Structure 1
Amino acid sequence: MYLKNDRILTALSIMLDVAFYAGRSGVVSGADIAKRSGLLRRGIEPVLQALSRAGLLDSVRGPKGGYRLGRSPRVVSLHEIVCAVGIRDQVAAFQGKGNNPLQSLVIAPLWAELNDGIKERLSGITLADLLQQAERSGLERPRQAPISFTI
């Protein structure tokens, strides 16, 4: 289910953070992501792993390691991010829960319809759209400083 799910919001926040601060070429550490989002590193680690397994993030090892986008922000939809953190099957589980006819005949179909609408909307929004929205809001993306070899 999409509505108010902390794991989904964390995944969206992580992906936007990486897109904003690192993009495809730079790298951002998990500790920096956690610090900017106000979350614990160990709390976001399972979400980082799920996003990496789905190919949405690339994990870079080493002392300067961290995460970068696995694909261009233009082709990563918000729905893909939601699916990467394992939300797909929760609607079916909700529909089969209990023997309450009001729930199974009224609430569950309504919830499925709402989720289908949200799925369609999220499929049409990309990380690039969110980056453009951030820029329109006045946020400036960090610039990579050129390497200086001055002695």
Structure 2
Amino acid sequence: MTISARVHYATLALIELAQRQSEKAPVAVREISQRHGIPAPFLVQILRTLRSAGWVQSIRGSQGGYRLAVAPTELNLLEIAEAVGCSDSNCQTDATDTKANRMLHEVWDAASEASRAVLARTTLAEIAARSAQGDEVMFYI
């Protein structure tokens, strides 16, 4: 499974929206873009895809932005990757059909299934909570 920049950025945007879900105001594209280093025009395209999936809500106007439209516990990373455009690494080659070639494809398929299983069992809520813990400022005396 190949994780593209588009999938990575979509997940970062969703994490940001999940962490700020309790805020009354929507989150502006500019804020997400600056915080995570995502090119704003690319982020707008990604957020449109997420809106089409029903996962984010857009609010128009000068105080507009985006909000998460689903509970973060209901969304796993595999769903995000598949909706935004992840591709499996099932490589098709012109190699001769040998036992070694078949065995190698079995390994690639197992690796793809293992990565899908990890993504499927990891929710947006888990990642948002774990990453929020790292954002807290620590003061030592």
Q: Which residue of 2 aligns with 1:42?
A: 41
Gaps of 5+ in 1: 141-151
Which of 128, 136, 139 does residue 139 from structure 1 map onto?
136
The alignment status of 1:98 with 2:97, answered yes or no, reads no
Q: TM-score, normalised by structure 1?
A: 0.75
Between the two proteins, what is the percent identity of the paired residues?
A: 24
CA distance in 2, matches of 1:40, 1:74: 27
Alpha-carbon offset, residue 55 of structure 1: 1.2
Matched, 1:52 2:47: no
Output aligned runs, 1:2-151, within 5 Å. Answer: 2=2, 4-22=3-21, 26-87=25-86, 90-91=87-88, 94-95=90-91, 97-101=92-96, 105-137=102-134, 139=136
| Greater alpha carbon shift after TM alignment, 52-61 vs 28-37 | 52-61
Structure 2 unaligned runs (5+)?
Answer: none
Structure showing greater relative contact order (alpha-carbon pairs closer than 8 Å, 6 or more residues apart): 2
> 1:50 Cα shift?
1.4
Find the aligned partners of 1:114 and 1:24 in 2 and give their Cα distance.
39
The separation in 2 between residues aligned to 1:98 and 1:47, in whole angstroms, is: 31
TM-score norm. by structure 2 comes to: 0.80
Could you tell me which residue of structure 2 aligns to residue 147 of structure 1? none
What do you get for the CA RMSD once the two structures are aligned? 2.5
